Structure formats: C-alpha cells, structure tokens
Amino acid sequence: MAAITVQDGSAGWGGNAAAFAAANGGGDTIATGRATVAGGWQIPVVLLVKNGDATPTDVTVGGLAAHSCPATTGVSVIPVLVGQSAIGTPVPVTYSKVTSLTVAAVRLTGPLS
C-alpha cells in the first residue's frame, strides 16, 4: 500500500488542478482530516477518483461501503471520514480494479484570512 499525499485545496482555487497519480493495485492509504489549531474544527479530506476505464470501479475508503465510480465520466468525490480513527490517522483505500484509475487526495481548505 502506498500513502496518497494529501494536497491543500486552497492551492487549486487559483486555477491549479489537483495532481492525480495512478491507483496502487494493492490498495493505498489516505490520512483523514485534521483538527484546526483553534476551535477543534476538523478540516475534511476528500478522495478524487478519475476512472478512465470502460467499466465502473468500486472504491472503498476506511472499510465503509464501496463507492461505485462510473466509467469515463469525470471525477468522483469520496469523503474520507474520521469515524473511529483519530484525526489525521491513515485509513485504507481499496479498489475493485486499477485499470486507467487515478486518484488524488485534497484537504478542503480555503483562504483563512
């Protein structure tokens, strides 16, 4: 399993796209959201999935119900929930297949000022 690097969403608000990488056949891990410095709010993380294959692909994050990513129809957005894990703890990501499948992890942040 490879760790998917979590990118800050604020980097994409200026027209920069999230950097996608090939999904790993043995699965991946992704860190859950993180707590803010003040107030205890959690900054959520989402997994972006591009399925370029001709058939749907099931993606499971953190052992929750699989999300079906349609064939060649854009980007699926899957929330990475903290659940029973501590904030920032890596959770497993598994795929029914990885043919033409790319992923990116984005922390949903915007300008804080």
Q: Is 16 helix (H, G, I), strand (E, B) or coil?
A: coil
Q: Look at residue 53 in the predicted model and tell me its pLDDT.
A: 94
Closest C-alpha to 46, from 19, 6, 86, 84: 6
Q: Look at residue 81 in the predicted model and tell me its pLDDT.
A: 77
CATH number for 99 = 2.60.120
Q: Which domain holds residue 17?
A: 2-107
Q: Look at residue 113 in the predicted model and tell me its pLDDT.
A: 42
Strand partners, 8: 107
pTM, whole model, 2 decimals? Answer: 0.83
Identify whether 113 is part of a domain.
Answer: no
Identify whether 100 is part of a domain.
Answer: yes
- Structure tokens, 47: 């997994």
Which residues of the chain carry a pLDDT beneath 70?
Answer: 10-16, 34-42, 82-86, 109-113
Number of domains in the chain: 1
Identify whether 16 is part of a domain.
Answer: yes
Identify whether 112 is part of a domain.
Answer: no
What residues have CB less than 8 Å from 90, skipping those under 6 apart? Answer: 3, 29, 30, 31, 32
- Pairwise CA distance, residues 5 & 35, whole Å: 17
Identify whether 50 is part of a domain.
Answer: yes
